[in-house]
A and B are shown apart, each in its own frame.
Chain A
């Protein structure tokens, strides 16, 4: 316990340095900005800003990127409540009751409940990361190649099962991601795979062009589907203080949302989106009068908003301790860490304690900043919503182009971004979500490497994966169990319930 405090104080020492406070603030501001603006999500923004972080120190870069991620959870609620448009996927359910509160003149109260719930959840979840991280990291250090291969298989399966939508399609997307991850020179044999004879592809497809194309450019194409590109109408904010009854209803929901969101955030494929949906369902179930939901119930704002922020924080646990990204944003963080020469995994905690604890401490500081940024200054952010999309997307596109180009000064990568943009849009049109693809792309090369190494060590004996004395066996068993469960109808029903609304 004392250990935890000394390490946290080390972290605060790092995070409170003038420079890192600055990175944290920039991240929180940018996160709020993109959270407020509909049509550009945290994944796209982090992909866009990745190239800008090259010249930064690694700790500062990660603090800023993390700030963007959880900052977006705050900002997303503002748009959801005031305009009835979710700024982020994780704010979809907030819009249901948040906007109804706004229509009854309680917009300020809804905003305050969302921000306070997010802040509370952020604090609790940050502590959870600090407390759970080290023991889990110690456990992970005992992992051999076969355990890692099993763990990654579990991660991919869980991402598929929990990701909502068709399981079959999600698996197919993971497989495409795995295939794209194979492009380039094979480390073991030196043979080039799928390069079409292009020398630019010998090192594999860049992570940034894929991420930026699939999430950034494809999103723009989708938004241009012939809708009006004008500015939306915005509800009046009114007083920022919840009244006694609203507060009385909101705070238990904040507690429940925090707990649920924190747990779901750790699961691969979970993260903030799943947490907010599950929290809304839970609040509705627990309520004595479910008909109030959809008509401006404060619990319907407090629960999901706490859950999505808690989930955003705790999804760092698998990344920092196991090197396993549970969702696309975390996959981008893997990319960011790799660019800075840090291999994500349990060794980060021991080899880079300042980075690990500094990042955790910065999350708490960032949440405090976000409370200030969002509550008193909400009027300022609302003005942003008046910018019409026709002015916004060319700027996003230009930043994407410069960002990709600045990576390797390569024309090919800019063109590849455009290609993946079109591909991502076509996939969306076919009902194929690109998120599992990115996870497969990131985990694929790692999975293959560990899988091969495991079989090499066991002299080709695949039963190494079925050895009950290894933890990998249980992970693989769990993966199989989940996969079978997802295909069978009974579990599928439960899953569909969670994704309803």
Chain B
């Protein structure tokens, strides 16, 4: 048994932090009064509520005993290529064209699998790139350029 419910403590702290961020970003918004609420009224009310919830969760987490289960490993091996693939697509589709951007981002995404196979990944990314270029570019007439 762990001394406290670690997940709840982290979650509570995260909520508190988030509430703080939102409140800080929106600090200049005029709050107004109930008759004519300013643009800052709802944000401030919600930030206070969120901070309150986070605080309760944090305290409750500290006071209860948690289960001592090991947390699953961080899937960095998968996450970095997956996130990278989306970002890569977003930044290359305009300059490289749909075909090349699709192929590159699929290949990058496939690097995330634990059982990555190089040749298979080449074939799949080529196939998908040609497939979506035909489907979206020619078939559905999406106004993006296909080749660089």
Contact = CB atoms under 8 A, between A and B. Distances in A.
Nearest to A409: B144
Interface string A174-207: 0110110010001011010110100000000000
B1 interface: no
Contacts of A398: 89, 102, 105-106, 109, 128, 132
Given A172-B57, A176-B50, A462-B34, A415 B15 contact: no
Nearest to B25: A194
B53 A224 contact: no
A401 B34 contact: no
Contacts of A402: 89, 98, 102, 132, 136, 142
A44 B66 CA distance: 32
A421 interface: yes
Interface in B58-109: 60, 71-73, 75, 77-79, 82-83, 85-87, 89-91, 93-94, 98, 102, 105-106, 109
Interface in A408-433: 409, 411-415, 417-418, 421-422, 425-426, 429-432
Instruction: Please tell me the size bucket of the interface on A.
Output: 35 or more
Interface in B31-56: 33-40, 42-43, 46-47, 49-50, 53-54, 56
B3 interface: no
Contacts of B140: 52, 55
A168 B60 CA distance: 11
A400 interface: yes
Interface stretch (A14-22, A128-136, A346-354, A451-459): A451-459
B73 A429 contact: no
B53 A168 contact: yes
B110 interface: yes
Given A414-B87, A421-B82, A225 B73 contact: yes
A186 B105 CA distance: 37
A178 to B, nearest CB: 5
B106 A429 contact: no
Given A394-B85, A431-B11, A224 B112 contact: yes
A411 B105 CA distance: 14
Contact of B25 (A196, A222, A431): A196
A171 interface: yes
Given A225-B73, A430-B10, A452 B37 contact: yes
A248 interface: no
A405 interface: yes
B126 interface: no
B96 to A, nearest CB: 12
B128 A414 contact: no
B114 interface: yes
A448 B78 CA distance: 39
A226 B79 contact: no
A399 B75 CA distance: 22
Interface residues of B, number: 69
B148 interface: no
A390 B89 contact: no
A449 to B, nearest CB: 10
Contacts of B134: none
A222 B112 CA distance: 12
B83 A421 contact: yes
Contacts of A52: 140
A230 interface: yes
A217 B60 CA distance: 31
B147 interface: no
Contact of B72 (A226, A400, A413): A226
Contact of B90 (A217, A225, A229, A411): A411
B29 interface: yes
A430 B39 contact: no
A411 B54 CA distance: 33
A402 B89 CA distance: 8
Contacts of B89: 398, 401-402, 405, 414
B34 A425 contact: no
Contacts of B110: 390, 394
A220 B78 CA distance: 9
A397 B128 CA distance: 11
Q: Give 6 nearest A-B pairs by CB, closest first.
A: A224-B78, A460-B35, A414-B90, A390-B113, A418-B86, A186-B39
23 contacts: A52-B140, A168-B53, A172-B53, A179-B46, A182-B42, A189-B30, A193-B40, A217-B82, A220-B82, A228-B114, A228-B115, A388-B115, A390-B115, A395-B124, A398-B89, A398-B105, A405-B90, A406-B142, A409-B144, A421-B83, A421-B86, A455-B35, A460-B34
Given A393-B112, A406-B142, 14 more contacts: A176-B50, A189-B30, A194-B25, A221-B79, A225-B72, A227-B114, A393-B113, A394-B110, A405-B93, A409-B94, A421-B82, A430-B7, A430-B10, A455-B35
Interface of A: 52, 55, 168-169, 171-172, 175-176, 178-179, 182, 186, 188-189, 191, 193-194, 196, 217, 220-222, 224-230, 388-391, 393-395, 397-402, 405-406, 409, 411-415, 417-418, 421-422, 425-426, 429-432, 448, 452, 455-456, 459-460, 462
